[in-house]
Amino acid sequence: MSPLAVLLCSSILFATAPEKMPHIPELKFQKYTLANGLDVILHEDHTTPIVGVNVWYHVGSKDERPGRTGFAHLFEHMMFQGSKHYDKVYFGPIQTVGGRLNGSTAMDRTNYWETVPSNYLELALWMESDRMGFLLPAMTQAKLDNQRDVVKNERRQSYENRPYGLVHEVILSTLYPPNHPYSWPTIGSMKDVSAASREDIADFFRRYYHPANASLCIAGDFDPAEAKKYVEKYFGPLPAGPKVIHPQPSTPELKHEKRIKMTDRVGLARVYIVWPTPRQFSQEDAALDLLGHILAGGKTSRLHRSLVRQKQIAQDVQAYQGGLDLTGEFSVIATIRSGHTIAEVEKQIADEIAKIQAEPPTQEEIDRAINVFEARLIRSLESVSEFGGRADRLNSYNIHTGDPGYMSKDFARYGAVTAAQVSEMAKTYLGAGRVVVEVVPGADVTIKPNPLEPAEAAREEMAKKLAPLAEFSPKVAGEGTGRESLPEGAAEPKFSLPPIQRGQLSNGMKLLLVEKHELPVINLHVVFPTGKASDPKDRPGLVEMTAAVWDEGTAKHSAEELAAELAGMGAHLSVAADWDDISVRLFTLTRHLSKALDIYADVLCEPTFPKDELHRQVLAAQGRLTQLRNEPTVLASLATAQLLYGFDHPYGHPQWGNAAILNGLKSADLKSFYDRNIRPDKASLIAVGDITMAELTQKLERVLGGWKSSSAANSTPDFTLPQAKPTRMILIDKPHAAQSVIHFAMNGTHRNSPDYFPLNVMNMVFGGQFSSRLNMNLREQKGYTYGARSAFDWRVQQSGLYVASANVQTAVTAPALAEFLKEFDGMVGGHPVDAKELDFCQKYVTRGYTAGFETPSQVATQLETLVVYRLPDDYFNEVVPNIRAVTADDVLRVGKKYLAIQQMVIIVVGDRKLIEPELRKLPLGENLSVCHFDDDFRLLPE
């Protein structure tokens, strides 16, 4: 899949295009290259006072050698551990100025980014340049050992402890020969990561992490002349490294099918079918992208219609082209519905592929896919930075094609695809040569035949025979100037939060509008003040099911007709139920607004909750319930809510219901809930985007003005909290789990509490961000986990929850619990927040606050918070001064008041056999209870 299909302003132009694609976006930019080979791309956008610094290195896991897998990803972690002139974890300086930062590794590239207030551009460039030029002097064995443990925990969390988690690795080892650089996953093998030495990692850095193998993009609110000066100052003196020669293996060819059968700790069977295909950016790649959308791109797609809607033999289905530098992969993945078999589903997939091989798709199917791609593309351009934003896109095209402005050419590939070409691609590439992986539920993971062990053994033998890498004498970066201390920020930029315009329709629906005209898009959110907490006691899951069926048919349109109309415009409509609200959201391009509003109003005002659609959604929900029993994080969350609220409390019941309740739901139940709760006079419509209040009111009055509120009465649930109990520990057995999921939880307070801002700061200190006490302890110091966090889960009607959590290696479950308790004790007086911590957290929140209002979708979400919690319109302007006003005494006071160490619940989901003995030795071990969930998801003692 190309970046266009994957990612699917004042700085954006819309060029002339073929009739199929009337709006091809183009980004304005400057590109130049330093003497050391570093490509520099500048893209201005002064809409919001933030700037993104984005660096791509043209190195990924494909550049590793057998026996040395996982190095690219491990090195990504090392890039955050400090450099010669700032020998500390890299998050500190960027977070202090209110910035965000991250990185990622893929098979073909590695990227890093910072998003900072625009007056701190120099700081971000200093940091990036220092680790590009001066990382090795600060890279110690202790740091490597720690991050190796963190990466192992990431692998456990993402592969071993996740349902279906090992399938990707099995597919790669089967699809490619052992010496092919795509035959191993980016995270590498545990054995290779464990064996990585400091010199191995240092050599990897010298070969690939240098200016001549990198691309730097600066995007956002900055002065180009000033940016060029900083780039030359900090990056200019860095020497170019050796010429990078990427592997060029032959394209794998499969003459026949390779079939693998697996068992896994999953609730439902699943089948994966993968074919080798051409590389990204080829014309074949574009045609295969369109084929994937036609087969499984939404409700109107062929496989979804056949497998999920008509025959109802699959829970879900996907199909997509994954293009890479060297080759590509076309995948079809289907989860099997209970009572059906992989063979049934596989036959239907084969039949649908045969149909498109025999007869080209319709032009309507082609156009629909292109319209969806166009809308996704434009939406992805809302943000200047971070993953998938404009800086990322410009760097991606530059690294892969040499042209940052390749986007219009990339998009044009799709317009050139004909229906006959799509059919031809299916005939050419979706043949007998494929990998099929069948996954069925089992007590543990088994793989037959297992390609992983032979592949790893083969790579070990290859590693012994590999010639040593060519010797080279790396040039060492000189000290340069300006590296004695971190740069100070320039004058703080001026920024006013967008004004909120208020209005009201004739039926009483309230309107909130924020105009943003940089992109031709509009986001509409209608928020109703009722949610899953309104489930009747005898019908848990009713609200969730109402939301699921709401957009599956109206008085005027069937579900498929609605989906076809929306896809034809590239619009997206969704219904989501939270505990205290339901939101119906629409995203559309401005030019389609009138037509999209007709569909939106139809869904809002006249849903019919068709019986057959309810039946389909009930089957899907039952399948999800089966899957959830194998999700340890979900089980921990369910246990948390029941233990603190009670099973029958509006906030404590299982929000998805249970199989018996779902089977008994009728269309009339959903319609009754709708009539009693969904009223325009109680709703708020939020609009953010390319429209004025006059236009909005006129268009909405036309389609929604006649919608009147029902007179049906609604009952109010009882939100009384149960009496708090002494701290207890609950163990939920998950045999063979690779990790233990840990939750520490307690009742919090109301969102509108006068202590909200001190609590916000307290949480930032404790576990609310990367540099928090909890994460620095459990991840950066101990290496127990990939990440530890804490957060408030706010509610409207009653106190929300405060939860601190981490997924830790099984062997350190008990020590991790002890560290949690130590950190809790510190927050209530054992280790009071000091002035430096307080200043850091306040700056992190306040300086980065404006970045939360960059895109239309972000602003719409912010306004939802305003509506749901009934906050005043000037709330956003009060956040920064209120955070700044918090004192260390305030933090200690709310810590003592709300961190009820004597009245919390500790939930551990893990392998009882391995962890129970050590848990019982802890001070709280005498209060340990082993529990399980019954068929109704009620938590019961063993």
Query: Considering only CA atoms, which of 784, 843, 772 is closest in space to residue 811?
Result: 784
The CA angle 930-931-936, to the nearest 5 degrees, is 175
Q: Is residue 774 within 8 Å of 820, Cβ to Cβ?
A: yes
- 53 near 125, Cβ under 8 Å? yes
363 forms beta bridges with: none
Closest CA to 187 of 70, 295, 103: 70
DSSP 307: I
Q: Distance between CA 318 and CA 345 in Å, rounded?
A: 13
Contact present, 585 and 527 (Cβ < 8 Å):
no
Answer yes or no: are the C-beta atoms of 40 and 230 closer than 8 Å.
no
Residues 336 and 268: beta-carbon distance below 8 Å: yes
Instruction: State the alpha helices, DSSP H only, in 735-853.
Output: 756-766, 773-775, 813-825, 835-847
Separation CA 912–CA 732 (nearest Å): 7
Alpha helices of 587-743 — where are they, by DSSP H?
593-605, 611-628, 632-645, 659-664, 667-677, 693-704
Place of tokens 């991840």: 779
Q: DSSP label at 553?
A: B
Q: In which residue are the tokens 């003692």 written?
A: 941
Assess contact for 217 and 386: CB atoms under 8 A.
no
Tell me the one-letter amino acid at 185: P
CA dist., res. 165 & res. 162, Å (int): 5
Residue (of 146, 169, 157) closest to 69 by Cα position: 169
Residue 293: name the closest of 409, 358, 176, 375 by CA.
Answer: 375
The count of C-alpha atoms lying within 13 angstroms of the C-alpha of 466, restricted to the half-sphere facing its C-beta, is 15
Rounded to whole angstroms, the Cα distance separating 113 from 315 reads 37
Residues 157 and 807: beta-carbon distance below 8 Å: yes
Give the Cα separation of 129 and 459 in Å (integer).
35
- The residue behind tokens 């991606």 is 396
Q: If DSSP codes are grouped into helix, strand and coil, which group holds residue 423?
A: helix
Which 3 state secondary structure label does DSSP give 780?
A: helix
Looking at residue 577, the DSSP 8-state letter turns out to be: E
| Cα dihedral across residues 742, 746, 751, 756: positive or negative | negative
One-letter amino acid at 10 equals S
Neighbours of 301 (CB within 10 A): 25
Instruction: Specify the pairing of strand 905-910 against strand 314-323.
Output: unpaired
> 497, 849 in Cβ contact below 8 A?
no
Taking Cα atoms as reference points, which of 96, 178, 61 lies closest to residue 846?
A: 96
Structure tokens at 103: 């990185």
Q: Do residues 921 and 815 touch, judged by C-beta distance below 8 A? A: no
CA–CA–CA angle 396, 400, 401 (5° rounding) = 110
Alpha helix (H) ranges present in 190-248? 190-195, 198-208, 224-234
In contact, 640 and 728? CB cutoff 8 Å: no
- Which position among 44, 76, 154, 438 bears the catalytic label? 76
Question: How many angstroms separate the Cα of 810 from the Cα of each of 166, 914, 915?
Answer: 18, 8, 7
Q: Token digits for 489?
A: 């920020």
Q: Catalytic site residue 916?
A: no
Cα separation, 150 vs 766, whole angstroms: 20
The residues assigned a catalytic role are 76
